[in-house]
């Protein structure tokens, strides 16, 4: 959009749109409000106009949904957001737009909005909305206890002879005489983020994790692991990483930070603890769950909410492979792989060609193993630097709080377009590498509808690799390549190919992914609950992730997962819903 088309300052033009929108809503005229959208306009709402995450497209449908929400929501006070990035011209999904931040009030609380506006084709000098994102920020009277609202500490300070802070902490996390309101299953980034948010809203929350130490879910992974996206995207709620940290965070640095995070934010956590059984009492509105501690003791608790934060990676998939029972070498899932020194000079196979498979293969190669990868399906390959393009808003020089709002503001139909553009650009940048892989026989894909790795992650949690060097080793033949469809069967000493060759192996690493979180629930809570909620992760018909950070088919059961950024952003919205559910009792 040429900047010259605007006949007045951007703040004035955006304020005019907000005024018209707010007036239409105040009058209860959802049709007039929806007329301020372009024919291909979209509205994504996160809890501001209803207790769900929902995308609505087209003025007619926007008018219908607005009309249903207005009586209970009572939105008012639409205005530009003070202290946030001012209205500006930016490029989003290949389109030049006016982007602005706004705030407003609802019957429930304070809310934010992100607007992406284009010139009105019917009214020169005016703007119409292409994308609107609205999100609840806080509940009236129940704001987070941060900043000026932080606790004074007077209830345990200078009370000689009484409990001090440490006494209170030890009592709180022991749960000797009470049960938590919420139990969070899993102490990775998802579990810690939601527990921190819930605690800030005054909800008694216990994190449980089967590992011995907080951070072990990262600490115990393969020796060479570092994060594949940059540090400025990955901060945790309330405690950003130090500015001295490297761009790509090593696993052990992150694991140690998680341990510190629990202590610094006064989170209650039981390690060495598993959820072994649970049932929901509809009449009483609570769960009855059995927790087993590492010493073999059990504790029955009755929380009102369970949050599964076991991640997209849950139960390892161990495929049934022809002849594998005859293989006399070592077989392990990639989740159990740590490092490859024991395999120096020995033949090894890695089944899979996603991120974990490539990292394991590269680590084995660096350790001196003779390693080959077995490719089962086409894989999307993108250079590590090109992969950062999808996080480009975090490099625009605006506050991370503003970036996080922008990250929520792309509805599914536009998200598809944006990722197609990023994927096409990356393919141009990576063209020499991709040609080398193709010449070697490596099967490539741009992902379903050419949307690349990000949509592959959101849809199914894998199928791609960020190249940090392994693809180069495959392309030049340093790491071997075997196609699964060419294998006849496994043998005692390797794999027999259909052409009669044998590829030797003493180690087989299964980089074959993990089962859906629905199956994690099935194992812990039984078939009835698992069937009631359905699949977790992947998109539903409305373009939102299934069962994530929103109500599920089972009362009192919630899910959170994803990258550090997703967990930081959406933990707020999940915590607000749990708090609202408690306030409604």
| Domain enclosing residue 392, as ranges | 324-510
Same domain, 483 and 352: yes
pLDDT given for residue 149 in this prediction: 84
Same domain, 353 and 495: yes
Render 553-565 in DSSP notation, one character per residue.
SSTTEEE--S-HH
Tens of pLDDT, residue by residue over 249-278, are: 999 999 999 999 999 999 999 999 999 999
Contacts of 126 (CB under 8 A, 6+ apart): 13, 16, 17, 119, 120
Report CA torsion sign: 319, 325, 329, 332: positive
pLDDT given for residue 158 in this prediction: 63
For the segment 334-350, the average pLDDT, to the nearest whole number, is 95
pLDDT at 157 over 70: no
Same domain, 132 and 204: no
Same domain, 133 and 282: no
* Residue 174 belongs to some domain of the structure: no
Same domain, 476 and 339: yes
CB neighbours of residue 229 within 10 Å? 20
pLDDT at 4 over 60: no
* Residue 73 belongs to some domain of the structure: yes
For the segment 107-111, the average pLDDT, to the nearest whole number, is 98
Tens of pLDDT, residue by residue over 278-319, are: 999 999 999 999 999 999 999 999 999 999 999 766 789 999
| pLDDT level of residue 493 (50, 70, 90 thresholds) | very high
| Cα separation, 580 vs 142, whole angstroms | 10
| Cα separation, 282 vs 5, whole angstroms | 59
| pLDDT level of residue 2 (50, 70, 90 thresholds) | very low
Number of domains in the chain: 3
For the segment 472-476, the average pLDDT, to the nearest whole number, is 98
Percent of the chain with pLDDT over 70: 97
* Residue 448 belongs to some domain of the structure: yes
**DSSP code, position 499:** T
Give the CATH number, domain containing residue 40. Answer: 3.10.450.50
| pLDDT level of residue 3 (50, 70, 90 thresholds) | very low
For the segment 223-239, the average pLDDT, to the nearest whole number, is 93
Same domain, 335 and 460: yes
Q: For the chain, what is the largest distance between any 2 Cα atoms, rounded to a whole number of angstroms?
A: 82
End-to-end CA distance of the chain: 50
Paired tokens of 421: 């553009």
Q: What's this model's pTM, rounded to 2 decimal places?
A: 0.94
| Cα separation, 369 vs 330, whole angstroms | 14
**Three-class SS state of 19:** helix
Same domain, 499 and 524: no
pLDDT given for residue 122 in this prediction: 86
Cβ proximity of 90 and 40 under 8 Å: no
232 Rama class: left (phi>0) / alpha (psi -120 to 50) / beta: alpha
Tens of pLDDT, residue by residue over 381-410, are: 999 999 999 899 998 999 999 999 999 999
Cβ proximity of 565 and 233 under 8 Å: yes
Burial of 154 per CB tally in 10 Å (0-12, 13-18, 19+): exposed
pLDDT at 42 over 60: yes
* Residue 169 belongs to some domain of the structure: no
CB neighbours of residue 65 within 10 Å? 18
Give the CATH number, domain containing residue 357. Answer: 3.50.50.60
| Cα separation, 207 vs 184, whole angstroms | 5
User: Which residue's structure tokens are 């930081």?
Assistant: 568
Among 476, 510, 544, the domain boundary falls at: 510
Same domain, 430 and 471: yes
Paired tokens of 165: 């802070």
* Residue 319 belongs to some domain of the structure: no
Q: What are phi and psi of 369, to 5 degrees?
A: -75, 155
Taking all residues of the chain, what is their mean pLDDT, rounded to a whole number?
Answer: 95
* Residue 145 belongs to some domain of the structure: no
Same domain, 561 and 417: no
| pLDDT level of residue 169 (50, 70, 90 thresholds) | very high
| Cα separation, 180 vs 202, whole angstroms | 11
**Three-class SS state of 88:** strand
Nearest CA-CA partner of 267 in 335, 185, 197, 219: 197
* Residue 164 belongs to some domain of the structure: no
Same domain, 468 and 403: yes
Same domain, 370 and 284: no
Same domain, 530 and 464: no
Cα 299–chain centre separation = 31
List of E strands, 239-327: 268-270, 273-281, 286-293, 298-301, 305-308
**Three-class SS state of 334:** helix
* Residue 400 belongs to some domain of the structure: yes
| Cα separation, 315 vs 243, whole angstroms | 35
Question: Could you tell me the CA-to-CA distances from 415 to 111, 127, 255, 451, 535 in Å, in that order?
Answer: 23, 22, 32, 9, 22
**Three-class SS state of 167:** helix
């Amino acid at each position: 959009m040429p900047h010259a088309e605007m006949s007045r300052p951007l703040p004035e033009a955006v304020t005019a749109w907000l005024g018209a929108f707010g007036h239409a809503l105040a009058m209860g005229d959802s049709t007039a409000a929806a007329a301020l959208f372009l024919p291909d306009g979209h509205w994504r709402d996160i809890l501001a106009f209803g207790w769900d995450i929902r995308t609505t497209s087209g003025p007619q449908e926007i008018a219908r949904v607005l009309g249903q929400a207005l009586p209970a929501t009572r939105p008012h006070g639409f205005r530009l957001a003070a202290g946030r990035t001012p209205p500006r011209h930016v490029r989003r999904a290949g389109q030049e737009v006016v982007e602005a931040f706004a705030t407003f009030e609802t019957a429930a609380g304070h809310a934010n909005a992100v607007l992406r506006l284009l010139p009105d084709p019917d009214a020169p000098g005016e703007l119409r909305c292409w994308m609107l994102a609205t999100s609840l920020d806080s509940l009236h009277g129940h704001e987070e206890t941060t900043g000026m609202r932080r606790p004074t500490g007077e209830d345990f300070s200078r009370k000689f002879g009484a409990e001090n802070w440490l006494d209170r902490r030890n009592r709180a996390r022991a749960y000797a005489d009470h049960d938590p309101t919420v139990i969070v299953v899993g102490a990775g980034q998802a579990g810690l983020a939601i527990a921190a948010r819930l605690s800030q809203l005054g909800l008694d929350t216990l994190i449980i994790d089967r590992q011995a130490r907080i951070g072990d879910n990262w600490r115990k992974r393969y020796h060479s692991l570092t994060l594949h996206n940059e540090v400025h995207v990955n901060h945790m709620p309330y405690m950003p990483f130090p500015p001295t940290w490297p761009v790509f965070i090593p696993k052990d640095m992150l694991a140690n930070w998680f341990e510190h995070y629990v202590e610094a934010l006064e989170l209650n956590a039981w390690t060495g603890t598993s959820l072994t059984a649970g049932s929901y009492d509809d009449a009483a509105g609570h769960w009855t769950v059995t927790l087993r501690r590492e010493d073999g003791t059990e504790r029955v608790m009755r929380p009102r909410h369970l949050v599964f934060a076991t991640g997209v990676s849950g139960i390892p998939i161990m495929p049934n492979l022809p002849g594998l029972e005859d293989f006399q070498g070592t077989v392990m899932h990639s989740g159990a792989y740590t490092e490859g020194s024991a395999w120096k000079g020995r033949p090894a196979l890695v089944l899979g060609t996603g991120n974990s498979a490539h990292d394991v293969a590269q680590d084995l190669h660096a350790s001196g193993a003779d390693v080959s990868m077995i490719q089962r399906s086409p894989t999307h390959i993108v250079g590590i630097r090109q992969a950062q393009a999808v996080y480009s808003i975090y490099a625009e020089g605006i506050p991370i709080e503003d970036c996080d709002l922008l990250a929520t503001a792309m509805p599914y139909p536009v998200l598809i377009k944006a990722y197609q553009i990023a994927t096409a650009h990356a393919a141009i940048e990576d063209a020499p590498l991709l040609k080398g892989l193709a010449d070697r026989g490596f099967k490539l894909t741009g992902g379903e509808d050419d949307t690349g790795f990000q949509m592959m992650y959101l849809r199914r949690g894998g199928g791609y690799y960020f190249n940090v060097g392994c693809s180069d080793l495959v392309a030049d033949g340093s790491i071997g390549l075997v196609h699964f469809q060419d294998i006849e069967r496994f043998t005692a000493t390797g794999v027999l190919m259909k052409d009669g060759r044998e590829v030797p192996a003493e180690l087989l690493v299964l980089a074959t992914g993990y089962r859906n979180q629905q199956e994690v629930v099935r194992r812990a809570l039984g078939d009835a609950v698992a069937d009631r909620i359905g699949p977790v992760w992947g998109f539903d018909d409305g373009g939102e992730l299934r069962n994530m950070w929103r109500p599920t088919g089972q009362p009192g059961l919630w899910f959170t997962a994803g990258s550090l950024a997703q967990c930081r952003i959406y933990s707020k919205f999940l915590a607000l819903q749990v708090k609202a559910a408690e306030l409604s009792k």
